[in-house]
Structure 1
Amino acid sequence: MPELPEITALAAFLTDHAVGQPVAAVSIASLNVLTTYDPAPAALIGRTLDAAGRHGKFLDLTFGDLHLVLHLARAGWLRWTDNPSPKAPKMGGPIALRVTFPTGGFDITEAGTKKSVTAAVVHDPQQVPGVARLGPDALSLDRAALATLLAGKTGRIKNVITDQTVLAGIGNAYSDEILHTARLSPFATAGRLDHDELDRLAAALTSVLTDAVGRSVGGEAARLKGEKRSGLRVHARTGLPCPVCGDTVAEVSFADRSFQYCPTCQTGGKKLADRRMSRLLR
């Protein structure tokens, strides 16, 4: 799933490649992608792209008083081409949406059969329910603000920092990296972190995301997925050695997702139970 660093990089890429250009065509190729109908997508045609930004993991493209707000979900991506096809994409294929400009264009694609990518044409991004529900941006918090945010939270820290209504921008991959850098168990209670643990979490949150943004911004859109994978130390590295201590990276799997951690760095050498009602194995 594209997270804060990748969405930031995609916004920067579109700023470089499309800002200042008028929309030549908009094609909808998925019945599920469009979540708004007034204004219609055709209202973007002829409007100039003024800015590209983000709200958490939502990409926000500004065209005068209209916004195209995109959420790439778990399997979506933005693919840019300098020579877009003049033909509209086929319905039911991997392309959900196409926007073209005089010197190029992009497709919003989605792999797999579960279609979760969304697009909304609105006058105000806050009209998109997912944007309206977002908590503060993950890179906007200092240590004190993070402590206030987590105070009283009884959920596991892994779940809390990936809850977009609590903290916007962090998903499964970067939460694994942040907690590994902070040397915290994914199952630590968010509201019970001590002073030192909060210090480590605040520092890790900023450093991991800032480093990832630095690696991503300026790169070609097509290479961002590979750049993300190359910078990961524990996520998606089950069975490989931890780059910090050499222990084997372990995994907790659920029905449709998993997360990774280092037992030595994060859980005092103990492995977390690999089931939905997870707890430390005794």
Structure 2
Amino acid sequence: MPELPEVEALAQDLGRRLEGRAIGTVHLAQFAALKTFDPPLAALSGAFVDGVTRHGKFLDFSVGGLHLVTYLARAGWVQWRDVVPPTPPKPSSKSLIAARVVLDNEEGFDLTEAGTKKSLALYVVRSPLDVPRIATLGPDPLSASFTVDVLATILADAGRKQIKGVLRDQALIAGIGNAYSDEILWEAKLSPYKPADTVDAAELFAAIQSMLTDAVKRSEGLKASELKREKKSNLRVHAQTGKPCPRCGDTILSISFADSSLEYCPTCQTGGKPLADRRMSRLLK
């Protein structure tokens, strides 16, 4: 899933490409992806792109006073096209292409989504806050307003909730998903199951800043086609099951859930003890 660093890099890359450009048309290939009807998608045609920004894991294209907002979900991505095919993508729920944005020349880009579970979402709105999930986002961890004190309040309010879930809760902290929550917890030497209100806010804050800032810096200047490879090549524990921990050499372990997994180092994070799969334990009772 694209998370804060990748979406930030996508916004920078697309912002450079789209500066001063006008939208020719937008072809919708998966009708269920469009979550709004007013303003209509056609209202973007002929309007100039004013900029591309990010809200958590949402991409926001500012177009002629309106906003085309997209949430890439688990398997969504942006595929730039130097030459857009002359034939629009066929509308189909099975298509990899959710929508195609055609510019005022031969260029454009596709919003794509792999897999059978289609969760990519598009919104045409007058303000980004008209998107419900943006309106409820927590603070951005790389903004100046996100401080140790803010994080301490979030942790205290979360109480006994597991810290892994708190980091992924977009209403508490915006932009961190499954992969970077694993990376942050490894950096901070914290168990994913540790209760939030027992976590040292200063240590966790330092880990958040370090992991996300480094990932953003590594992604600066990269094209969209290069971002996935960059992310995978720099993960320490996430998706590294069975490999040695880069800090202590112990074997990285994994716990699988219905549609995701978490990875951790038992020596660095859990006192050498493998974590129990609490969801599975409840099922077996």
Identify the TM-score tier after normalising by the shorter chain. Answer: over 0.9
DSSP-derived class of the 2:31 partner: coil
Report what 1:270 is aligned to.
273
- How far, CA to CA, are the matches of 1:247 and 1:121 in structure 2? 48
Counterparts of residues 185-200 of structure 1 (less than 5 Å): 185-193=191-199, 197-200=200-203
In structure 2, runs of 5+ residues without a counterpart are none
TM-score (normalizing by structure 2)? 0.94
- How far, CA to CA, are the matches of 2:137 and 2:272 in structure 1? 35
Q: Deviations over 1:206-251 (max 9, x none)?
A: 0100000011121010110111101100000000000000000000
- How far, CA to CA, are the matches of 1:46 and 1:179 in structure 2? 46
Report what 1:95 is aligned to.
97
Report what 1:210 is aligned to.
213
Correspondence 1:224 to 2:227: yes
Residue identity matched to 1:220? K
- How far, CA to CA, are the matches of 1:97 and 1:275 in structure 2? 40
| Equivalent position to 2:185, from 179, 184, 198 | 179
Report what 2:125 is aligned to.
122
Report what 1:157 is aligned to.
163
Contact persistence 1:254–1:275 (CA under 8 A)? no
Contact persistence 1:57–1:71 (CA under 8 A)? yes
- How far, CA to CA, are the matches of 2:126 and 2:157 in structure 1? 36
- Kindly report the root-mean-square deviation, in angstroms, between the aligned alpha carbons of the 2 structures: 1.2
Contact persistence 1:76–1:108 (CA under 8 A)? yes
Report what 1:169 is aligned to.
175
After the TM superposition, list the runs of 4 or more consecutive aligned residues in structure 1 that deviate by more than 3 angstroms.
none
Contact persistence 2:155–2:201 (CA under 8 A)? no
- How far, CA to CA, are the matches of 2:157 and 2:128 in structure 1? 30
Q: Deviations over 1:124-153 (max 9, x none)?
A: 111111111111112122212211221131
Report what 1:235 is aligned to.
238
| Equivalent position to 1:146, from 147, 151, 176 | 151
DSSP-derived class of the 2:142 partner: helix
Correspondence 1:258 to 2:261: yes
- Residue-pair matches, total: 276
Q: How far apart are residue 278 of structure 1 and its match?
A: 6.2
Q: Deviations over 1:8-48 (max 9, x none)?
A: 00000111111210001110000211000111111101000
Percentage of identical aligned residues: 56
Cα 1:245–1:278 change in 2 (3 A) is farther
- How far, CA to CA, are the matches of 1:254 and 1:220 in structure 2? 32
Counterparts of residues 59-78 of structure 1 (less than 5 Å): 59-78=59-78
